[in-house]
Every structure is written in C-alpha cells, then in structure tokens.
Structure 1
Amino acid sequence: MTRRNEFSQLDLFGQVAAAYAESTAGVLDNNELYAILAERGGLAKEDLEVRVPIGAAGAMHSPARRRVRWHQQSLKQLGLIERVDGQRGVWRLTEEAGKGLHKAANEVKLLAFSTDLGVAIWSRCEDVFQRFDEPITLMVSSPPYPLRQPRAYGNPSEAQYVDFLCAALEPIVRNLVPGGSIVLNLGQDVFEHKSPARSLYIERLTLALHDRLGLSLMDRIPWVNYSKPPGPTWWACVNRVQLTASYEPVLWMTNDPSLVRSDNRRVLEAHTERQQKLMRAGGANRSAVYGDGAYRIRPDSYGRITEGKIPRNVIERGHACADTRAYRRHARDLGLPLHGAMQPTDIPDFFIRLLTTPGELVVDPFGGTVRTGLAAERLGRRWLVTEWILQYIRGAAELFRGSAGFGLHPALQAVGGR
C-alpha cells in the first residue's frame, strides 16, 4: 500500500491550505506563501522564477505561481480563505472555515489524517482509486442512498444509481485480490414515484455488478435494526398500506467464489446456555427424525465441544453506537455539522473479521465518519478511506487520536475552529 508519507507529497493543495492554517492569525501574502512552499519542498525555488509565454498573447508568467494561485481559488470557493480588503495578494482564513459542508473539488486530494495502519483522504473517491494500484482484500461501505430528497452530503437519483456505483467500484474491483470481497450496505426504503411499491434498484444493481464487473453474489444479509424510527412515514404511518421497515440489505459479493477469503470461525458467537448444557452432557441423549428423514437427532448430537456457534446470515444491531456518541461530542465541540446517516461500527467490524486477516488492506470509497477505517484500525488491518465532505472527515479524525502514529493534517486544524 502507498504509505502515508508518499500520499503527503501528492497534494500541493494540502500544503497551501496548511500554510494558511499555521500562519499567524491565518494571514499570508503571496510572497510569504511562495517562500513557505519552497522551504517545505512543495515547490522548487528555481521553478518560482521560471517564466514562460502563456495564452494567445504569449504573456510571460510563472507556471509554478499560477498553480499556487489556482489552489488559492479552490480554497476560496470552499469558503476557507478570503482576500484581505485593500491588500493585493494577501489572503486569510475565514471565520466560517469549516462551518458549512465543503466538498472536495475535482482532482483535490488531501491526506486528512493517518495512523500507522491507514490513511483518510479528503477527495472524491474516483480521484484516488482510479490511480490506485495496490491489492485490496475487502471493500466495505455504506454508499449514499438514492433518495428523492437528497441529504446535505448529496445523493444520486434512482435513475443514476447503478451507473454511479458501478463507476465508483470499477477501479476497486480491478485491484481486488482473488477471492476478495465487496460489501455494500444499501437503503431499502426507496419507492416507485407516488407509489407504495418498492423500487427494484437493488436487484438492478446486483445484476449490473455481476454483468459489468464480474462479481458473484455470496449472500444478501439483512441488517435488522428494531430501533429504526417508524417508516416509511407516508406509506406506513399516514396511508397505512405498508409495514414499518426494520432492516437494510447488505450485499456480499466476490470476484472468485472458489477462492473467497471468508472464514466463519473468525466470527463465532457464544453458545447459548442450552447448547453449553448439551455439550457438557455429551449430547442430546435421544433419537428423533424430522422432515421425512432430512434431519436426524442421535444421542450424541450437539455433544461435540466447539468454540462457538456459526452466526446466522442475519445481523441484528441497533443504530446506537458508542463511537457515534463520541463522534457527535467531538463534532459539537469543534462546531461542525453532524453527519445525517451514521452506520454503527459493528457492521464493518463483523465483515472485516469474516473476510480478512490482520495486515490485509480494507478500503471504503464513501467514508462518512470513517467507521470502516476505525474497525480496521482496531482489528489490525491496513485501511484506506476517502470522503469528499471536509467536515465529516475532520470530525471522524478525533476518533483516532489514541491510535499509534496518529497525525492530523495541519490544514484541518482550522476546520471547526480548533
């Protein structure tokens, strides 16, 4: 995997942002900025002095200085810096830096934070993974749902969804090791327009992932959450024609079922007291036949001592999560907007244990509050997460402060006011 110090060299954008974040009162004139970038190695001093003819008029300009000014304009569009009135070439951090939602522009890649095991990058996922060339064992993600009323972080429409997700996953699938897996937590409550009939987008997506990307379906695993608010509100609570939803589907797919790297012994659950009693007694101590001979119980059935029981292919978890509560506290302390749809860390934790071993690489192109990275970090897996909303990745960084080798990009210190 490309190490984090190598990632830190790929974004002049990040170095420009860091220069403002670390400056006195967040103010720099352009000459000071050029000097800082030259000292840090972001630009060579001699490159700053080189001028070449640019444009139809052939006016002489410095390409290096123009690159820096382009990044200044990107920071301005994101609401992070502003011109100082009456002072040519002088910029400063805005008071509102980090208060609204700022999405990474095309080709912007900023190493937001890192640990000894992984990196979180503020970027559109395609700008990172299209150029990524490292074996991936698992991708586990909860991509934006196709909602009719998009959330603050943006959602593709139902009509766009299959193309959107296939395009995002294609470079990741290209780097999957043989038997590697793709795990997608998808939204169930998507309906046909003005109809209580549920959308078939998940079925269309499943077929497209098979037909376009060559993935095979290993399982559809319901994530059952009985603490979900009653919904869909219009069809269940107002018109009373639907049942309230209590699950979301999780698709588990692989590029090679014959080599799939899953091992259910890594996710064994504790035996019930009844099973433990049977094992202590040496078995059921009875004989029975059920289902016209399909199932037989013998006196020694259930008597073998085992480490635990194999989980059912249903995950029952509430959405309450200690990590979510911690993230909310940190976001509020930093003055950051809260993510509107957070997945509990238990979900990626389960699939990372089932589908990987320590040291293997886990990725998430739709990082959100970086729960996939957090679960991978705790389980000793390497990880790479991308997220295009600056404020979400900044708030998530606080969950990693106790991790070995933690480092926060200086530019993010200004986001949220800390």
Structure 2
Amino acid sequence: MSAVRPLAPPSANSSSAQLDLFQHVLDAYQVEGDRPLTNAKLYQSVARSAGLAAGEVERTVEISGSQHSPFKRAVRWVQQTMKHLGLLERQPGARGVWSLAQRNKDGLTAAPVGKRLVAFSTDLGIAIWGDSTQSFPQLGQPIHLVITSPPFLLRRPRAYGNPLTEQAYIDFICSALEPLVSQLAAGGSLCLNLTNDSFLVGSPARSVAKERLVLAMVDRLGLYLMDTLIWHNASKPPGPLQYASKRRVQLNTGYEPVYWFTNDPEKVFSDNRRVLQPHSERHKKWLRQVQDAGGCPRSAVYGDGAYRLRPSSYTNETEGRIAKNVLPIGHACADTRQYRRDAAALGLPVHGAMMPLSLARFLVEFLTLPGQLVVDLFGGTAKSAMAAELLQRYWITFELFAEYLRGGAQRFQRFPGFRLGEEFSLGFPKSL
C-alpha cells in the first residue's frame, strides 16, 4: 500500500494517507484491547492491515544524516499523537509498551474502546458516552448543524486531551469531522469554536494552525467558509500570561473565533431575523425624532454615496437590529453555574473550558429551524444540546469522558422524557 510511504515526514501533506495510517494504528491497539502492545508488534499489525510487504516495513532512507524506516517513523508519529490525545497509557516498568487508556491522570473515565453507551436522553435528544472520532455512525437522518468546540491546540495538554502539533491537530479535526460532513443536509452548517491562544514553541508569535485548518476544511472536506464570527469575551482572564503580563510584547486576548462553514451557500437555513438584537436607546431616540418630524429631518451622503439619508429614511419601524458578526458574550452564565453546583454535589471533576449557553443558543437559533437536528461531537457538559433542547431542535451529543456527561445530565432532568442511561450510571450516583 504505497499510500503510507509519504507519511514518513511529520510535515507531509498527504491527508488521506495520514488519516488511513491513524486508523490502522488505532485498530492495532483496539484489537489488543487493554493488553499491552510493543512497538515491534505494532509495526507488524499495522503493516498487515495496510497490506505492506515486509521489505517496505524494513526499508530505510537517510533522514537527518542517519538511516531510518519511513514506515516505522510514521507509525511512531501517529502513536505520539495518540499519547497526546490521552488514548494510550504506558505500561509500568516496560519501555516502549503502551495500551489503550480508559482513565487519564486527571481521573477522567474514557469510554471503553469501541463501545458507546447512552449517558442520558430526552424526548428531543440523546447524549452518548463514546469516542466520536472513531467510526462515527450513520445516523439515518440528515444533520442540519454541527456545532462544537474541539480540543484546543495548546502547549500543555488539558485534562480532556488535545493534540500538541499543528499537523496532528489539523489531521485529527478533519478526520473527526469528515463523516459528519458527509451526513450534512444540503445547506447544513458546521461551526467550530477554536482557541486564539496557540503560539509557536518558545515564541510570542502566534500559530497559524487555525488558518491552516480553515483551508483544510475547504480543500479536504469540500466546505465553504460563510463567516468568521468573533466571540468577544470581555470577562476572559488576562493572557497569554508569558507574553502579555510578563514579557509585555503581546496584548491580552479578548476573543475566540467561531468558523461557520456550509456545504451549500445557496441553501443555508440561516436567517438573521431569528436573532435580531434590541435597538439601542440612541437609535430609539432617533426614531422618535423622525416620527415627530413626520420624516427624516435631514439629508446627508456618507461613504462616497454608499449611504444616504432621505426624507423616507427610518420611517419603517423594525423589530430589532441585525446582529453583527462580533458577538459580545461573557463566559459566565447561569447554566454554567448550575453545572458546577451539580458536579460538586456528585463529587465529580469540573470541565475546564465550557462554552457559554448564550453563544450556543445564538448559533442554533440563527442556523437552524425548529425540528432540525443539531450534533456536537465534542459535547463536554452538553451546552449545544441544552441550546437545542430549549429551542425545540433535535440533538445528539458525544463525549469521551463520563464525568462530564454525568455532571451535565443533571440540568436536563426537567425536560420531557429525561432518562439516565442504566448501564452508564453504574459507576456514578444514581440518585437525582
């Protein structure tokens, strides 16, 4: 299988080959289950599933002045990515021996490999404990909106896991999203909330992984970029500390991007009338002046003729103003506070990077109609699901770590049809 060969350099651009090799490596560990797997056996298993001849496995070329096997080097690169994602754990006392992990160092319980369990459900949706990035199911109905905040590209991994290199991050996200994109309804949307705090190693220069990911979404997944929504978070803690507070060469970051994609720009379900914003007091005062004067009291031309004030201007009242693509939404919200209380009452760890409900709600309301399907493949505490539930959209959310879903389930118990998954709840308090 010659497609594997270009994978030797970590910077290789063969995306299909990279995704194929990732799956071969994962399959090798899944076959072993919780049994440890040496690298020598890993090479054999991957080569066998990829259809490689023994000569190709052992073939070496000169890399950085020494002879190396491109195949083995590529396998170890994928293995390293899986370690950063928290998918592998080292066997105590054994060098180079790893197995699939179920509980990470922060005490979070990953779903059993190859298994998905219902965490909880309502009449409108279902939360699934499982790894959404592997063998995403055919849902049997079109997805109208994918809204998710995937693991961030950060120097230090968070408890929920995240890749640490740009190329690994791009491959990981594209691989995870590809099966969802194939199930998008015509005109369906996909929204990605990404961090703005990724830097080159040891440098105050920002990483351009976000921009490369956007290009990959367009080039590899065939999507169109509709807009980059700016989530302006005035309550965001100061940072980056190293470069803004200590070295003083950067400004504090005050926003995160939300990239909005679609598979068909002509058929999108978005309608800005569903998310009209209240008029400002200044605008309301101006409207009263227009009404009292029986028409616009002055004429003017702005922007070299682009905007004109006429007697008829501002004489038609509107329900609100069209929202701008800069969304001033603070991080704190009542839904988050309730989740924290619920998690504390159950003795569970708290998720460290939650989207405010108002942001998820804005996206769901703007981009979908009641009765359509919203999917989140990195569900966390089920913020997107909550927004969909409140707005009468169907929803499906996936989350790898059980503790986050169990803590998040409490907020859904007030909705019709709520039920906690029986098998899922075995390891958690059952009382509600």
* Same fold, judged at TM 0.5 (above): yes
Amino acid at match of 2:386: L
- Which of structures 1 and 2 has the larger relative contact order (alpha carbons within 8 angstroms, sep 6+)? 1
Q: Distance in 1 between matches of 2:419 and 2:137?
A: 25
Q: Secondary structure at the match of 1:396?
A: helix
In the alignment, is residue 129 of structure 1 matched against residue 125 of structure 2? no
Q: Distance in 2 between matches of 1:355 and 1:135?
A: 15
Shift of 1:303: 2.1
Q: How does 1:335-350 map to 2 (within 5 A)?
A: 335-350=347-362
Using the TM superposition, name which of 280-289 and 176-185 deviates more: 280-289
Q: Distance in 1 between matches of 2:425 and 2:380?
A: 19
C-alpha contact (below 8 Å) 1:335/1:417 kept by paired residues: no
Q: How many residues align?
A: 323
Runs of 5+ unmatched residues, structure 2: 1-102
C-alpha contact (below 8 Å) 2:196/2:255 kept by paired residues: yes
Shift of 1:156: 1.3
Amino acid at match of 1:154: G
1:410 to 422, 427, 430: 422
Q: How does 1:11-410 map to 2 (within 5 A)?
A: 100-127=107-134, 129-159=136-166, 160-280=168-288, 281-282=290-291, 283-410=295-422
C-alpha contact (below 8 Å) 1:223/1:249 kept by paired residues: yes
Q: Distance in 1 between matches of 2:425 and 2:174?
A: 35
Shift of 1:127: 4.1
Using the TM superposition, name which of 136-145 and 407-416 deviates more: 407-416
Q: Distance in 2 between matches of 1:185 and 1:336?
A: 25
C-alpha contact (below 8 Å) 2:156/2:164 kept by paired residues: no
Which 4+ stretches in 1 moved above 4 angstroms?
Answer: none
> TM-score, normalised to structure 1's length?
0.75
Q: Secondary structure at the match of 2:340?
A: helix
Q: Secondary structure at the match of 2:305?
A: coil
Amino acid at match of 2:113: N
Q: Secondary structure at the match of 2:181?
A: helix
Shift of 1:166: 0.5
Q: Secondary structure at the match of 2:220?
A: helix
Q: Distance in 2 between matches of 1:303 and 1:116?
A: 45
Shift of 1:164: 0.5
Amino acid at match of 1:149: R
Residues 273 and 284 of structure 1: CA distance in aligned 2, closer, same or farther (over 3 Å): farther
C-alpha contact (below 8 Å) 1:118/1:377 kept by paired residues: yes
Q: Percent identity?
A: 54
Q: CA RMSD in A?
A: 1.8
Q: Distance in 1 between matches of 2:163 and 2:112?
A: 17
Shift of 1:411: 3.2
Q: Distance in 2 between matches of 1:248 and 1:328?
A: 23
Shift of 1:412: 3.9
Q: Distance in 2 between matches of 1:116 and 1:127?
A: 26
Runs of 5+ unmatched residues, structure 1: 1-95
Amino acid at match of 1:369: T
Q: Distance in 2 between matches of 1:158 and 1:298?
A: 56
Q: Distance in 2 between matches of 1:278 and 1:153?
A: 50
Q: Distance in 2 between matches of 1:197 and 1:406?
A: 47
Q: Distance in 1 between matches of 2:286 and 2:367?
A: 30
